[in-house]
Amino acid sequence: MPMVIWILMSYFEDVSVELEQASLVDGFPLRHTFRRIILPLAKPGIAAASLLAFIYAWNNFIFALVLGSSKVQPVTVSALKFITAEKLRYGDIAAACLVAAIPIFILSIYAQRYMVRGLSLGAVKK
């Protein structure tokens, strides 16, 4: 999760201070400046960071395995049920892994334009 914070921090640091000062000189309150000027400029970074946070939370296998109850388990933990002492059910494990990867794949396709711009601009310090 620190990577998400670093991406967002460098994005908000790259926003020009002159834009904020000009907005405040024009008489806009600070919350209006943040909502109308800073957030739209940081939208690619926010999208990239939220996608990374979603992928991290979705793939958090150990936390769900240790602290999750048997009634509510993610697909990745439920795939362990296909491993028994008698045999490994490879087809069922592969299907469970595919089902677990589909939401991330769909979200990545939807947010691809923000991801490339967000990761490249947020990682470079000027």
Tell me the average pLDDT across 118-124: 55
Report the distance separating Cα 74 and Cα 21, nearest Å: 47
Domains contained in the chain, number: 1
As a whole number of angstroms, the distance between CA 121 and CA 99 comes to 32
* Listed residue (73, 45, 59, 61) closest to 104, CA to CA: 59
pLDDT in the model for residue 119: 58
Instruction: Write the burial class of residue 2 (CB in 10 Å: 0-12 exposed, 13-18 middle, 19+ buried).
Output: exposed
- Which domain CATH number covers 26? 1.10.3720.10
Range of the domain at 79: 2-123
pLDDT digit string, tens, across residues 17-69:
888 888 889 888 889 888 888 888 888 888 888 888 888 887 777 787 788 77
61 vs 125, residue with greater confidence: 61
pLDDT band, very low/low/confident/very high, at 91 (cuts 50, 70, 90): very high
